[in-house]
Structure 1
Amino acid sequence: MAAPESPSRNARSRAIATLWRALAGRRLSTLWRLSRLAGPLVHRFSRREREVTEVNLAQVYPDRSEAARRALARDSLVHSTATMFELGFAWMAAPARVEASLLEVHGRELLDGARAEGRGVIVLAPHFGNWEVLNFWLSSHFPFTAMYEPPKIDALDPLIRQGRERMGARLVPTNPRGVAALLKALKRCEAIGILPDQEPSWGSGVFAPFFDRPAYTATLLPKLVARTEARVVTGVARRLPGRGFALHFLAADERVYSTDETVSATGVNACVEAAIALDPAQYQWEYKRYRKVIQQQQGHPEHQSFRLY
């Protein structure tokens, strides 16, 4: 039996839920203006997000000037703030409003073509733009299954789950039972979603290049492809600031189909890089993508704390 949450965590969950509900009714132009105001404050006062973003950008764009990387870091945190403000919109706004915000759809033929061939579709959905809007569209147009890990604040779980499932998405746990559900969905020629840029636990991945630097990358994809012959597509919802979103479905790097896990993981990271190239500011750079490399260099103590990584 789970321990009850503290009064402070309950108050925090209520405040977050209230904020999402309040923002759900706002126009996207208003949410973008709020993000433009709040983003610089996040950059200035959220030291962890600012420093991790700047460390990551120095790793992936070493040829850019420091001033250019700082500007990109500021823009990135504005977009990350916008994503947080848009969660209520994606999860709670009237479906017709969310659908109307999807102003462009590029590459849908990749999804339709795979299903016409009797294949399932694995959508690699990196943390770019607004991935919750992408989930909304996919689950509105296809039978769609995705893995789901409950939030750290338990009280928010019903709200988030309802928001993600409201258009028909099926959420499955991040464990062997969930993997089995993904396999069954693919064998039914349905679509599934995978987050390709989250670091897996030790033993569930391999080191593969991400912007020419090793990053620990999950090996779930080649296992799914080998057992289902599914097609792989990268999908993102690129923000059109203040107006809406453009969906992009990109053909996967062919290396994702390799039976060699390291080669496949390299292809996965290349897919993420291709999505980032659409607009680097819309990628969530505050995620510690290279953390396990540093852990390995320091003897991989899994529970050691790091100032930045």
Structure 2
Amino acid sequence: MAEIRSHSSPRQARAIACLWKSLADRRLSSLWHLSRLAGPLVYRFSRREREVTEINLAEVYPEQDAATRRRLARESLTHSTATMLELGFAWMGEPQRVEESIIEIHGRELLDEARAQGRGVIVLAPHFGNWEVLNFWLSSHFPFTAMYEPPKIAELDPVIRHGRERMGASLVPTNPRGVAALLKALKRSEAVGILPDQEPDWGSGVFAPFYQRLAYTATLLPKLVARTEARVVTGVARRIPGRGFAIHFLAADERVYATDEAQSATGVNACVEDAIALDPAQYQWEYKRYRKVIEEQQGVPNHQAFRLY
């Protein structure tokens, strides 16, 4: 969903936190029912989310007709709504309930084999399904470190930080100190999480294909692999509507291990595509993955590129 703007008041932040808390004990079937009611409203009235989702879908699925893409856009915004409503469940719900909601686990052996070999594991976790449930499971079962950038609403920071750390995850800042912490964790044969599908700042990425179109992609991964010989997997928590979640760990595209940053970034984007293929409606298509390409090609400032897309 669209990020909450920084001008939101402390009162609004308290209201958001209270909403999460009030939903923490609701059954997943109830939250999914609410999502199915609210999703069409989000599609109709949230112009930014609707337009960006439809632009992205037109780029990645040009072979589909417009009606099919609109239907997929509505389904995607329903799943994004579900993720927002499930945050209280993932962050504040009774841990046993959250654990029991994970009714399938696929590919765990990829993590176990790497750690048995004395290697760390880098989990690429795209914005698919409910990534907070994935964080819950990983930090419940492995020493787990992930980068964390405080939210734009400062008052929500302690709520989100506590929710993500409550099962033992270690959150580190998105700066050189945080990168150093990831390296140390990997050298201890632990697991770390990286978001592979957000545009980095200029100078921290390269252009690499994402569904046959160039997208500015972070180059942190090859740096971590080169210095630690860690194994890479893709991890997602796929929603099983109204019932729970299926955790999937997928073997990474071999190009992620390339020393060439552009080649490695191409492998990273291929990993994201493999995860999306599990259920395209569960990917959060509201991110402007191609924004920096527009800026680069048209020679306009970033804020103008933002409007063009």
TM-score by length of 1: 0.97
Match of 2:276 in 1: 276
Match of 2:99 in 1: 99
Q: CA deviation at 1:305?
A: 5.3
Residue 182 (str. 1) matches residue 182 (str. 2): yes
What is the distance in 2 between the residues matched to 1:9 and 1:106? Answer: 42
Match of 1:291 in 2: 291
Match of 2:152 in 1: 152
What is the distance in 2 between the residues matched to 1:133 and 1:288? Answer: 24
Q: Which runs of 5+ in 1 are unaligned?
A: none
Match of 1:169 in 2: 169
Match of 1:77 in 2: 77
Contact 2:256–2:264 under 8 Å retained in 1: yes
What is the distance in 2 between the residues matched to 1:300 and 1:265? Answer: 25
Contact 2:76–2:282 under 8 Å retained in 1: yes
Contact 1:53–1:73 under 8 Å retained in 2: yes
Q: CA deviation at 1:303?
A: 3.6
Match of 1:302 in 2: 302
Match of 1:207 in 2: 207
Match of 2:192 in 1: 192
Look up the equivalent residue of 1:82 and give its one-letter code.
A
- How many residues are paired up? 304
What is the distance in 2 between the residues matched to 1:72 and 1:210? Answer: 19
Q: Secondary structure at the match of 1:307?
A: helix
Match of 2:12 in 1: 12
> Pairwise mapping of residues 50-65 of structure 1 onto structure 2 (< 5 A)?
50-65=50-65
Q: CA deviation at 1:304?
A: 2.8
Identify which range, 43-52 or 8-17, moves more after superposition. Answer: 8-17
Q: Which runs of 5+ in 2 are unaligned?
A: 1-5
What is the distance in 2 between the residues matched to 1:67 and 1:303? Answer: 31
Match of 2:3 in 1: none
What is the distance in 1 between the residues matched to 2:12 and 2:38? Answer: 19
What is the distance in 2 between the residues matched to 1:239 and 1:308? Answer: 32
Look up the equivalent residue of 1:284 and give its one-letter code.
Q
Distance 1:134 1:246, change over 3 A: same
Q: What is the CA RMSD across the aligned residues, in angstroms?
A: 1.0
TM-score by length of 2: 0.97
Match of 1:126 in 2: 126
Q: Secondary structure at the match of 1:83?
A: helix
What is the distance in 1 between the residues matched to 2:167 and 2:10? Answer: 28
What is the distance in 1 between the residues matched to 2:70 and 2:15? Answer: 32
Between the two proteins, what is the percent identity of the paired residues?
82
Contact 1:52–1:308 under 8 Å retained in 2: no
* CA shift digits 1:106-137 (9 cap, x unpaired): 00000000000000000000000000000000
* CA shift digits 1:145-170 (9 cap, x unpaired): 00000000000000000000000000
